[in-house]
Each structure stands twice: as C-alpha cells, then as structure tokens.
Amino acid sequence: MNGFVTNIERDTIANEDFRRVLFTGPNTQLVLMTLRSGEDIGLETHEDHDQFIRVEAGSGVVRLDGEERELGDGSAVVIPAGVEHNIVNTSSGELLRLYTLYSPPEHPEGTVHHTKREAAAAENG
C-alpha cells in the first residue's frame, strides 16, 4: 500500500523515545517525540520547511519568535519556515508526548533517538 495508516494517538502515548520517525514521504515526515520533565526540543529555526505539532499528553510551553504560549493535551502548533521555536516540558514529573509533521522531511528515514543526548550527538557528529 502506498501511504501510511496508524492510530497516531496510541503510537504517541506509547512512545518512550525522544524522537522516532514513523513515516517519511517525498514531501512530509511524521515523527513522534517524548520530552521528560524540564526537557525541550532545543531552540531551532527551519529555513526551508514548515512544521505542525500536536500534543497528545502532558503540558508545556511553545516559544515562537520569543512569544510563549501554554500547551496541553489537544494543543496544535503550526510553525512556518523561518520562525525560531522551542517546545519545553514545564511539568514536574509528567511526560510531554507529541507528534510532529515536517514538510519537507527533516530527519533521515527510520531515525530513532532514545534520548535528547543521543539526538544531539547524531546532529553534531
């Protein structure tokens, strides 16, 4: 079958990895992320693509070009190309579970980073 079908809520809630690429197409990529308490995705700007994020569990904040908004279960964020952004888990002890769509893809197909430290090492090395 061309395409990809899954129960995205179930997959997102079950994900224990910092980053797990589920699907990579020519123009879009679906990625699961889980942030530990106090953890963030890291301040970044994607110059050539847009990003969509949906929170399935937990709480935190999104920072978009310096402006901060609260996030919780059901929150959606659209990040146009060129916008500096970060997602931070602001809870104490609760996991922030989300999925994101990159258009075009951002990470190599099949990427799995169990921890943020592992992700940083892969990006810097």
Instruction: Please report, rounded to a whole number, the percentage of residues in the chain having pLDDT higher than 90.
Output: 90
pLDDT of residue 1: 60
Full-model pTM: 0.93
Strands annotated E in 1-125: 19-24, 29-35, 50-57, 60-64, 67-71, 76-79, 85-89, 96-103, 112-113
Q: What is the pLDDT of residues 35-75, one digit of tens each?
A: 999 999 999 999 999 999 999 999 999 999 999 999 999 99
Domain 8-124 is found in CATH 2.60.120.10: yes
Long-range Cβ contacts of 120-123 (<8 Å, 24+ apart): 120/42
* Average model confidence (pLDDT) across the chain: 95
Domain boundaries, the chain: 8-124
Give the mean pLDDT of 94-103: 97
Q: Indicate if the pLDDT at residue 81 is higher than 90.
A: yes
Q: What is the pLDDT of residues 12-29, one digit of tens each?
A: 999 999 999 999 999 999
Q: Indicate if the pLDDT at residue 125 is higher than 80.
A: no
